[in-house]
Structure 1
């Protein structure tokens, strides 16, 4: 699929976005029966629930997993939405029954074609699917993808600063206040005019350097690749060699940073949910993701980036598209829950499983990681170093290597 030029004003494109999303839902509800949908309380899943309920082609079950964080207001917003849903059954699962991040990593036996960080949330993603299937659901719809198509990357402002300097500068000041970007790295990133290939070459030369500040990823070509301290020198040499070989053919996904970042985010998310889809089908209830249908992506990417991403309003495109479909009360939400508390609690509760992973590490057998460092880090689950997902990619590779073994339950390769 060739992405469209992002030139359409929001007011002109909103109806087309609504139509594309409605058609994506219709394809899934048209056969009738019962379908289930996530109803997190966020705008993405809420929009799909109202579109599905309005069509009346299938019985709708709206499914809500409350977060464990007392500050998480998703449940409140899910209840508000459910109160307006005609004929839908709202199921609220007990928060304490929600599996935590890192649960059941030692028992993952899905045969996957590549490592994926989705295994970290595998237990959480699959937990309610057998229950929904028992209630009659033949398909489960998620709001995944809304963050990637209805919103877009702030990196578009690298180009907009050159083409619309006054309005871009004002919005960049707003983003700086919103995300606490320091001036120095922000200005250096905005002044950086390197091509994608030159940027990647520079990143390949700095694999052992400290992680770049978040603003470099937000406004640049992406987060420069970095190696964690527990990656061995042998693995670092292999990574540098692979990047050097890739440089000859390296091409951005789009003509500028913003369009490259948007497409990269979509591709990256699809790699995760492709594996979740394989897992969910095996669990007895297939999942589907209307926001990631081609026509929905095309409609959203056709909109001007300054109309999709702004520091003053969250997801203005989806709000405009859903006006008259989703109650105004639900469109007024300005908060967004995040699951850092659940992840931290999962690390504390399942630290022993991680220690067992490192005790007989397949990555270590290959000479790729220092397990002493990993054991020390995961033995301190409250360490500030673990507040972000620094372990995810390493764990994903370790778990994947184990699933390749015949004893993991998959076919021998």
Structure 2
């Protein structure tokens, strides 16, 4: 007779079979190293067997529930964990160590006893310790991807780091590969003004125009922690082209460093200059228009008040200009206005100002001249304009101008005042002799 319970292990056909053996789980092949940071936990029993699945660590260890830990791609990691678990079960005190595993990253291994000490069960955590060099390399890649010039200064103003755009720009200006990085150079010393050059002024976001000395002082305040930021627009022209940059500097509190970034704003500045040109200049002659003349007049009036010198203006009108338009057409008339403007400018000093206020009327601003002196300058212009005929679009024209000189009051000068004071005298000149200079 069979023993009780034996029927549970026999077949229904009466033939006995071997008891069914439990299949042991086969360890899986070790996975390749993980693409990201290692982090995971598992529990070992008193015999060192894995008590529960640990999928987070499957890529670095052979982890099969009911089996002992096995190595994955990093030999020695399993043995280190088992040894740490034994130490913890013996002492009952949690342990935390850092190990550099051969062929792998640096890991923090944490072991904690769980449950009664008699069970000797241990919770193990494995966390990858970030590599500072990896962080620096990643930061350098990010900084090199910035399409603007960037430098990092230490608390003394020396350059610690520059990015690829900075180095490429420096080499484009003739620097060698070694010089382009500028590591160790003092950025503040690079901002020292050239004593042989007049003080340069650039636009700032803080307080309008600033000198190079003021820019250097602002950077020094940043380095010293006395201000948080500085923003400056400046030109950087070469023989081949004109370029403009915006420098933005900001302080980092800890560690005390300063990030300096240079943005190429050449396109924006060229657009601004073009818009200003269109707003302040006459499209026909290229001279200042009424708006541009008003700005120039205010500038010269301020100089006259500050320095106490005289200043004069001349209203110039083309004689018989309507007749030229009527006989030869407006194309010839326009060409005549442009030619008169060219001859007039040629007869003036480099710092004199010439503009067109409309029609055939022009205004000359003559700094540092009294009315009698301005009358002599106007006479020189009159002779230059009328001296030789104009050859324009097949027409030969002998043309002259009449001019009225006005002494300017630096405290109350405007384009309207010049026109008001000069028009009466100019009208008398045009109705009598023409081709003359009168004083209002």
Same fold at TM > 0.5: no
Please identify which structure carries the higher strand content: 2
- Classify the TM-score, shorter chain: under 0.3
Bigger Cα Rg: 2
The structure showing larger relative contact order (alpha-carbon pairs under 8 Å, at least 6 residues apart) is 1
Please identify which structure carries the higher helix content: 1
